[in-house]
């Protein structure tokens, strides 16, 4: 049957059911093998008399409802409230019929669980009265057996104990599935990570760095920024600093959008930002005044706990002096000092951060798996968890308190040549890129 005036939906349609029940003028009927409190809510949206409301379901446990007793109790409330309930073996249709002519039909059950599922539904705006489709629905209704309170009370009393055993078995089935499913998901994620690692190893890190430099939408407010190592003297000592030439300003930048519009961006003066060296690929954190950089940090340790999958862990990062195999960012997550920890190695080239390696060490947990292993698994499997971790690592540090640091002189980071300083963005975080000229 072709119905031109229809709306196709791939989302939760509970609100559509609510509106149709509320707008019904003569009758509301639900067809569904599975239902719970949500079905009662749908029918209660209608102001029609209880006798104008009806439900056709399948009371047999062979229908496979996951919470059989809860469904029976919902049906009992419906019958007690005057709603007409009927049972039809092997019914599998999921549909709301209003005024005996308007149909909302699809895959979604009338359960709260189904509201979070991936469902498809068609809402017909056409009057289907007199069609063979509605004739068949009416035939099913007449074929279905009326359900009484006495029958439901007897059925609930008879199945409540077997239902507990079934629920326990269902829980074991679900747990087994989740264990196997999680293992498979981790296996697939590790395979994808392996392919990314292999591809990254075939391409020099300098290739990505140069692409990041060319692709950036940021321009310095004072045109190009070039910097060179110079010595300075204070009353106490002589030291090296990376000094910007001319009127260059490391804090003031301009972002050029797709339409060519320019938007000013201001880095926080004196805050700490990550800097990436091109072509070496070395990373560090530096303080950004206006025209000089004097100190760099090869490692940071946050004092506050970092949450991974709801688990609080200590977070620290290290930027190796030598970039081996492209690994220039080492993230460490630990439970406590000296106990279980994990090191996650990334290759960051300004465009992307490829997970290169994970290593778990420290004292093993006598009870088996630990929070560290679970956290590493979450980061390997879930790209969102991985990106959240990286965004935390690259976040600017405005008030450098409550964390340990590993600071060293700037001449141990930069070579004695001119560098062009540009600004790039990664996961919404600012990163300075210093390219040798």
Burial of 202 (0-12, 13-18, 19+ CB in 10 A): exposed
Q: Contact at 8 Å (CB) between 224 and 415?
A: no
Which residues have CB under 8 Å from 286's CB, separation 6+? 272, 273, 274, 275, 293, 295, 296, 297, 410, 432
Mean pLDDT value across residues 90-102: 94
* 188: pLDDT strictly greater than 80: no
Specify the range with the lowest mean pLDDT, choosing from 93-102, 227-236, 313-322, 410-419.
227-236
Mean pLDDT value across residues 426-431: 92
Specify the range with the lowest mean pLDDT, choosing from 125-139, 234-248, 320-334.
234-248
Question: Given this model, what pLDDT does residue 54 score?
Answer: 97
Question: Given this model, what pLDDT does residue 402 score?
Answer: 47
* 103: pLDDT strictly greater than 90: yes
Long-range CB pairs of 135-142, under 8 A, 24+ apart, other chains included: 137/31, 137/95, 137/97, 140/31, 140/56, 140/88, 140/91, 140/93, 141/29, 141/54, 141/56, 141/86
Label residue 313 by pLDDT band (50, 70, 90).
Answer: confident
Burial of 261 (0-12, 13-18, 19+ CB in 10 A): exposed
For a pLDDT cut of 90, what percent of the chain falls above it? 36
Mean pLDDT value across residues 305-313: 80
Q: Contact at 8 Å (CB) between 24 and 46?
A: yes
C-alpha angle 94/99/101, rounded to 5°? 70
Question: Given this model, what pLDDT does residue 31 score?
Answer: 97
Distance CA 212, CA 166 (A): 57
Distance CA 313, CA 294 (A): 32
* 427: pLDDT strictly greater than 80: yes
Specify the range with the lowest mean pLDDT, choosing from 3-7, 56-60, 123-127, 156-160.
3-7
Provide the mean pLDDT of the chain.
84
Question: Given this model, what pLDDT does residue 357 score?
Answer: 83
Mean pLDDT value across residues 173-184: 70
> What is the gyration radius of the CA atoms in the chain, in angstroms?
32
The residues that bridge with 408 in the sheet, in sequence order, are 296
Question: Given this model, what pLDDT does residue 368 score?
Answer: 44
Full DSSP string of 165-195: HHHHHHHHHHHHHHHHHHHHHHHHHHHHHHH
Question: Given this model, what pLDDT does residue 210 score?
Answer: 84
Label residue 52 by pLDDT band (50, 70, 90).
Answer: very high
Mean pLDDT value across residues 149-161: 91
Label residue 367 by pLDDT band (50, 70, 90).
Answer: very low
Mean pLDDT value across residues 244-270: 83
Provide the whole-model pTM: 0.57
**pLDDT tens by residue, 374-415:** 777 778 778 888 899 999 999 988 766 545 556 777 888 888
The HSE-up count of residue 184 (CA atoms within 13 Å, CB side) is 6
Question: Given this model, what pLDDT does residue 263 score?
Answer: 85
Question: Given this model, what pLDDT does residue 244 score?
Answer: 85
Q: How many other C-beta atoms can be found within 10 angstroms of the C-beta atom of residue 324?
A: 9
Distance CA 358, CA 57 (A): 52
Distance CA 412, CA 295 (A): 10
* 49: pLDDT strictly greater than 90: yes
* 243: pLDDT strictly greater than 80: yes
* 366: pLDDT strictly greater than 60: no
């Amino acid at each position: 049957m072709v119905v031109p005036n229809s709306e196709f939906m791939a989302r939760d349609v509970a609100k559509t059911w609510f509106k149709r029940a509320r707008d019904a003028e003569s009758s509301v009927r639900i067809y569904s093998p599975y239902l719970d409190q949500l079905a009662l809510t749908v029918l209660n949206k209608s102001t029609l008399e209880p006798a104008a409301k009806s439900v056709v379901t399948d009371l047999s446990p062979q229908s496979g409802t996951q919470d059989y007793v809860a469904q029976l109790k919902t049906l009992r409330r419906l019958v007690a409230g005057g709603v007409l309930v009927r049972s039809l073996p092997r019914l599998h249709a999921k549909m709301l019929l209003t005024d005996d002519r308007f149909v909302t039909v699809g895959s979604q059950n009338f359960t709260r669980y189904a509201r979070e599922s991936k469902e498809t539904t068609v809402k017909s705006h056409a009057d289907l009265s007199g069609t063979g489709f509605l004739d068949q629905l009416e035939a099913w209704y007449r074929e279905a057996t009326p359900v009484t309170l006495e029958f439901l009370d007897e059925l609930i009393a008879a199945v409540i104990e077997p239902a507990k055993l079934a629920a326990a078995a269902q829980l074991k089935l679900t747990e087994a599935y989740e264990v196997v499913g999680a293992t498979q998901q981790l296996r697939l994620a590790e395979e994808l990570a392996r392919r990314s690692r292999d591809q990254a190893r075939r391409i020099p890190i300098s290739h990505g760095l140069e692409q990041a430099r060319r692709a950036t939408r940021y321009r310095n407010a004072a045109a190009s920024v070039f910097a060179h190592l110079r010595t300075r003297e204070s009353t106490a000592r002589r030291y090296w600093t990376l000094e910007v030439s001319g009127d260059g300003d490391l804090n003031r930048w301009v972002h050029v959008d797709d339409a060519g519009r320019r938007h000013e961006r201001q880095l926080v003066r004196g805050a700490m930002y990550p800097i990436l060296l091109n072509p070496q690929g070395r990373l560090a954190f530096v303080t950004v005044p206006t025209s000089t950089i004097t100190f760099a940090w090869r490692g940071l340790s946050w004092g506050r706990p970092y949450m991974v999958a709801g688990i609080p862990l200590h977070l620290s990062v290290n930027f190796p002096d030598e970039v081996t195999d492209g690994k220039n960012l080492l993230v460490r997550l630990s439970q406590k000092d000296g106990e279980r920890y994990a090191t996650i190695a990334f290759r960051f080239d300004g465009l992307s951060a490829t997970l290169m390696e994970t290593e778990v060490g420290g004292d093993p947990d006598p009870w088996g798996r630990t929070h560290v292993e679970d956290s590493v698994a979450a980061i390997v499997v879930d790209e969102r968890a991985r990106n959240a971790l990286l965004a935390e690592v690259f976040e600017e540090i405005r008030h450098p308190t409550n964390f340990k640091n590993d600071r060293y002189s700037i001449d141990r980071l930069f070579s004695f040549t001119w560098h062009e300083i540009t600004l790039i963005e990664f996961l919404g975080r600012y990163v300075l890129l210093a390219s040798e000229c």
